[in-house]
Amino acid sequence: MYFTNSVEEDRVFHVLKTRIAYEARTEESQVTARLAQRCLYGVGKKRPTMKEVVAQLVYEEGFSKKRQTVY
């Protein structure tokens, strides 16, 4: 419940450990937190499959790497 409320209120950094929050970009953390929140749905049909979770994380990792090369 605390995690879900933190995601909804954009307070994810209060939940993450300091080191993770320091190293991660805000946008990346929010996307990952929303994915984690979807995994916590009480109704199984609303939760993403493991394939969907992996695909989303791989996509985000690739997108993040592309963004880093721009900076």
Per DSSP, the chain holds a count of helices (H) and strands (E) of 4, 0
Which residues make Cβ contacts (< 8 Å) with residue 5, sequence separation at least 6? 11
Token pair 């992996």 is found at 54
pLDDT tens digits along 26-56: 677 778 888 888 998 888 888 999 999 999 9
Q: How far is CA 1 from the centre of its chain?
A: 16
- Model's pTM, two decimal places? 0.59
pLDDT reading at 63 higher than 60: yes
pLDDT reading at 68 higher than 60: no
Q: Encoding tokens for residue 7?
A: 């995601």
- E strand or H helix that includes residue 41: none
Q: Encoding tokens for residue 11?
A: 């307070």
